[in-house]
Amino acid sequence: MLKSILLVGAGGFAGSVLRFLISRYTALQWNTVFPSGTFLINIAGCLLIGIIYGLGIKQITTTELRLLLATGFCGGFTTFSSFSFEFLILLREGHHNLAFLYSAGSIIIGLAAVWIGLFIVRSV
């Protein structure tokens, strides 16, 4: 059990740090009210988790690797709380169309990214 906790913790640390760096980078590169950093992170995380679980279905990964990458890394990397907060900020600031585009795009493209990740692994 301790090994599992350490794997999830290490993955979560790496995912959180990468999320922070990507969010900062996108904020500096794109001066927009659209939360592009969180959007890109969540879509990339969906794609990655689809690939990880696809590899698990094919029995290419170990339980430990899935704990490290899916539970730990993706759990620390993606963030529903930031998505929800940024959606409410967009609404509060009067960007209603952008808020709904953000939420619909995150859900639809996120689900598609998980499916694509699974499809990629199944095709290989």
Q: Structure pTM? A: 0.80
Domain that holds residue 8: 2-123
pLDDT, tens digit, 9 for 90 and up, residues 34-72: 999 999 999 999 999 989 988 988 888 899 999 999 999
Rounded CA-CA distance 77/102 in Å is 18
CA max distance for the chain: 48
pLDDT at 124: 86
pLDDT, tens digit, 9 for 90 and up, residues 87-96: 999 999 999 9
pLDDT at 12: 96
Residue bearing the bigger pLDDT, 5 or 80: 5
- pLDDT mean across residues, the chain: 93
Number of domains in the chain: 1
Amino acid occupying residue 77: F
